[in-house]
Amino acid sequence: MAGIPSQRHRSVVRGSLDQSLRRDRSAEGAILVLANATERREKDERLWLLAHCDALTGLPNRALYWDRLEQELLRAKRTARSVAVLWVDLDGFKAVNDRLGHAAGDALLRAVARRLCHRMRDSDTVARVGGDEFALILPDVTDSEAVVGVATELVASLSEPFDLPQGPARISASIGMAWYPQHAVEAETLVQYADIAMYAAKRAGRNRVCVWPVETMPGSEIVAVDRTEAPYSPPAVVWRKQIAGEKMLFEQPLEDALQDDG
């Protein structure tokens, strides 16, 4: 389920027989009307794919991602299992897009999707949720450090050169992670934490994995727990927050937003 599994198309034939003929045993014959429903079924499948899949990469889109995440959290609650959410943002994608053109950017996104899916299990979900953002769902997590290892492997894989038809390209990836139920039990909160951790990875230098929680320090500063560095190294301040009731508001300086190329 890392992407959208391919389906074999089979002819679907529907038949109907008048019920009065079924009861009339004296009837010497009957006419069976058959209708080939294959075309209608294929049309329904195309409409479903358009509504739930990213047209460029073939991966689940944002809508299908949220649906799968909700379903995985319900299943995890029943089975007392953990679920990991990874939020992936490409570093340097805009530069490749500007240098080699939009066709190269599209080819790069398709190549990134293939590399992500190659490392995932069939039970995992890899979705494209934005321009150069991907989101992953890893159900049935039993070893959090193993999942961090997988995320680190993804970072290493995406930092390898891409041989595109338009020319060679190099990018990196920043990945944020959060777990159900250790960090949150609601899908929206879980994704928010993974997203914040991803921005923490960017502010800490990019090309790395950061895991929620980001810790609140004096002065309402947020620090990233960077699992790709030495475990006891002091984390760097990467974000600021204000508390308004239970809602967290995150502030980003305008110059940082303008310099962030995604």
What amino acid positions are annotated as catalytic residues?
132
Q: How far is CA 171 from CA 96, 109, 140, 232, in A?
A: 8, 11, 30, 28
CA–CA distance, 200 with 246 (Å, rounded to integer): 21
- Residue 261's nearest CA partner among 60, 8, 147, 92 is 92
Could you tell me whether strands 82-91 and 33-36 are parallel, antiparallel, or unpaired per DSSP bridges? unpaired
The angle subtended at Cα 193 by Cα 50 and Cα 1, nearest 5°, is 35
Name the token pair of 115.
Answer: 């590399």
Residue 36 makes CB contacts below 8 A (sequence gap 6+) with 11, 12, 13
Place of tokens 């794919």: 49
Residue at 35: amino acid letter = A
Judged by phi (left if over 0) then psi (alpha if -120 to 50, else beta), residue 132 lies in alpha
Residue at 156: amino acid letter = A
